[in-house]
Amino acid sequence: MKRPILIMLAMIFPMVLPAQVPTRDKQKEYQIRSMEQGHWDFSPDWWYWAFHKNYSGAYTKWEWHGLKSGLRVHFDEGRSNVKTVGPRREAQLATQLLKEKIVETERKKIEELNKEEVARAADRNVDLMYGKYKALFSDMQASITEGLTYCLVKSKGKMAKSIKELTDRNEVITSNVAYLRRVGVGYELENVKREKGFAQAKKDMEELVKKVASLARLAKAYY
To the nearest 10 degrees (0 to 180), the angle between helices 130-154 and 160-181 is 170
CA distance linking residue 67 with residue 71, whole number of Å:
12
Report the alpha-carbon distance of residue 159 to residue 12 in Å, rounded.
127
Mean pLDDT, residues 47-56: 74
Segment among 39-43, 61-65, 176-180 with least mean pLDDT: 39-43
* Assessment of whether the complete model's pTM goes beyond 0.85: no
Give the Cβ contact number of residue 194 at 10 Å: 23
pLDDT of residue 19: 44
